[in-house]
Every structure is written in structure tokens, then in C-alpha cells.
Structure 1
Amino acid sequence: MKAHSVELAHLTALDLDPARFAAHAAQAGFDSISLRIAPVAPGAVHYPLRAGSPALRDARAAIAGAGLSVSGIEIVSLTPALDVTTIEPMLACGAELGAKGLCVTGDDPDRVRIADTFARLCELAIGFGISVDLEFMRWRPVARLEDAIGVVSAAGAPNGFVLLDVLHLHRSGGMPAHIAAADPALFRCVQLCDAHAQIPPHLDVIGEARGGRLPIGEGALPLAQIVAALPGHVEYAAELPIAPEAGAVDALVRSRQRIADLIGAHAR
């Protein structure tokens, strides 16, 4: 089996700017990174970059200098009021960085409207060579795997996919069998982490997702079964919010090796 490259998602150490995050990921043995270039909510941490700007060129040079590439950009909320044309500068930035995917979340309860929004965004993104990956999260209207599958299937875009985060799958009641039963063409990328069997009492579902995950192999998620259920073409990422303090890189190194072990033992 060929070796799989593995991305490190920016949420892992969102306090690090793109250049520092690339160095952090490279030190832990990852092959690519995603970048949070738009905020998850107004005022949230992000690193805005503009196509053609010196800041983007500097970031791209630093990432390449670390031996990494940019595999994805984040994050767009599909709200009822979203004008997808406003995302074009972000897509232009992503294309200049070499990103293959744009992560979006489903924040519109109207399934017909959100499928149309998703389809129009996909149509815009395809001109930049970028796929659109819909990530379901339990606290959003697109909360479960079946919700995301419904939106992506209804949109019918060749560059539209479901982004599978294993924590969100588990906390929304999803199981490996649900992945295996789905159309494999719906999946392009999976984000791996580990977690406690139950949400710790001092956290809620959002707090756990953004700061309470565990390194790979140090929790209770059925990662081997999930990897075995995934189609062979998927790309792998790790989303591991671990503060950049003593031991953080060691935890990431362990996680990177365990991902390789999981893929080697269980991937199709």
C-alpha cells in the first residue's frame, strides 16, 4: 500500500500564524496543513490573506520552506443570507496557496435553500480547482452524517463532498456502518482525532470539539473501524487542538505515527 500524506488542521494550534503553524506541523511529521483564513464566527481567530499580496507570498514561501503544502482553507458558514460571490476572494487566495478543498459548515435549516447555496458555491469553486467539503457538526442545522449526505447529494456538484470529522460523527450518533453504507464518492477527506467515550463534565459539545480532543490512540473512538469503513481514495487529516506547550509536539508525533499505523492496518 502506498504511503498516505496526512494534513494537520489549523484548529490544532490556531494561535500560530501560517508560517509558525507550518513549522509546528513539519516538526511533528505531517505533510500538509489547512489554514483558517476566514473566521468561524465574527471576531474569531483567523489569518486573512489576499491573493497577490506580499503577505500571501511570504506565507507560501514559509510553508514551502518547511517542506509542506496547503491542502485546505477554512471556513465558510452556509447561512440563509450568504452571497456566494463574496467567497471569490477567498477561493482566489486558496488557489494561489495550492489548496484543494474549502471547508464549509451548514447553518441554514432550509434543506432546499442550503443545497442550492452549496451547489452555487461549488460552481464558483470549480473554476479555481477547489472542492467544497461540507462538515456536519452536532450543534448546527447540518448536524449529522445523513444531513450532510442529503445536502451534497441534492446539490449534485462534481466537486462537492462530505467532510467527515470522526468526533462529530461519534457525538451525533454516527457509526462506522453508516459510512460503509454511504456512496463512497461522497467522501474526499476525513479528519481524525480521539476523544473520551463521553463528553467530559467540564465541557459542552462545542468546547470539546474546539479544545477537548485527545491524541490519536489515547481515547475511546472506534478509529480502526472508521478507517476500515472509508473508501480507499480518501485523504487523511488530523484535527488535534493541543496547546503549543511542552509535550504538544510529542503528542502530535505520536498521533502522526498512529495514523500511519491505522491506515496501514485497516485502510482499503
Structure 2
Amino acid sequence: MLPELWVRALEMPALSVTTPYTLRINLARLLRTASPAEAAIIAGLRSDIPASAFLSAYQIAMRAVDPALPPEQWACLCVSEKGLRSLSEMETSIEAGAVSGRKSHAMLAMDGIDWLYVIARSTSGLICQRVSAKAEGVSPHPAKPGQPVIPELPHHVVDFTASPVDSAYLAEDAHQCINKPFRYHEDVMVLLAFAGWVLRVSEAHPGHQRLIECMRALADGYRISAAGYDKSQLDAFDALIEELLQISLPEKLQQTWHRDRQLLLMGKKARDIIRSRLA
């Protein structure tokens, strides 16, 4: 059976990236009243399309980057640079309280994001600081070509020209403390939210008891303070993704789901490496 909170979520109107203000205030309420994993599931249960579930899940995961990020505000983590093979080659830098350089992958940077959390070089090594999306010297423009999955949430290239950082946030050793852990938090939140969306649109909740059990197992083991996967979380993740990919959806949704669920498979190589190390 579904938990009562899940049932109530299914009875409520769907939330959508096409109405971002409504999505923002509802997600803020969730962030205040539910644990991160529960918030991701309920956000998925209330989403109209996978993109809406992904956006909510991503914002929940950003609270692992900055627990003090206000619930009403949205943010994205800026790490990628075109042609970057190793973080040691990163060209974006933060000096004297300002960031300069280019990041190739920033979700909704042209509209909707409040803060850009930028990982960059500094005299003390890689650090992460945040920049207002409206700060002087921040210049986003469309990435070309657009991403093949979740096109409703365009990612952008962002140029920073001596853009002032917010001195209230600073994370040292940013690869180990921010970048690596974030991949775990994003993976888990997105998978839980996608599973919630599948439950909403599949219209056969009693027949998906195994899926529900897998969702609860992954959610119960999740901790926002975790630095990454342990073996039990990795097992729970793999069990849920295997179950999720077996469920058939209404024909009108199959093309969208087949396209967007590729997000769940992109990190498989990295998870296989983690599993081999844990073994």
C-alpha cells in the first residue's frame, strides 16, 4: 500500500516546469516540512512530466551543497568546462572575491536560477563559491547543440567576467567536498522523483508493490550528510532502477520517458567503478 502522504500527493494537481512560480512555492513548502528523500518522492508524485520531477530533485540535491540555501531559491552547480579532461586543467578562477572564466553547463542560467555555485581554481586549490545569476559580469547564452534529454530545462554556457562572489559561502577542497558528493545526492534524488512520477502516470499503483518497496528502501537509507554511496545504498539504487525500467507507461508518454530516463543510465559507468572499489 502507498503511504498516506503519497496518496495525498497523487490526489493533488500536477506541478509543472511550465508554471515555475507555482512549482517554486510548492517545492519550498516541501523542503520545509519533509525530509529530502520524502520531498523528492512527493515532488515526483506531483510532477506532470519527467522534467518537472528532475528540476525538483535537483533543487533538493543542491541542499547538500549548501544547507543554508533558502527553500524558495533555486541554484545550480557549475563545474563543467568545454574540453576539460581533468579538474586540474580547470581554467575558471576565483581571485580577490571575483570569478572569471567560462562554464559550459548551467541549468536555467538565463531564466529561473537565483544562484550559480561555481567550482574554480584559487590560490588555495579548487574552491566553490556562489555568484548571483544577476551579478555584474555574468553572461549566460544558449548551449549548442541543446542537450538530448529533458529539453524543457535548457542548460546554458555562462561567461564570468570579474563577477563578484557572495562571501557568505565558501567551500574548500571543492572536488572532494562538493563535486563528488553532489553526484550521489543528485542521482538518488532524481531516481526517487522519477519513480514518483512513474507511479503517478502508470495508473496501476496496487500492481507496483515491488517498486514502492524499492523506493522506500532507497529513501530510508539516504542521508543528506553522506559523502557518497555505501554498498547498501548502491544496492538499493540498482534495485530501484531495475524495477523502474520494467514498468510500462501509457503510449502517449512512452517516447518522453524513453528519452528522459537515459539520465538514469548516464552514471552507470561511474557507479560500476564505485561498486568495484567498495568490493
State TM-score, norm by structure 1: 0.27
Which has more helix, going by share of residues?
Answer: 2
State TM-score, norm by structure 2: 0.26
Question: Larger C-alpha radius of gyration, 1 or 2?
Answer: 2
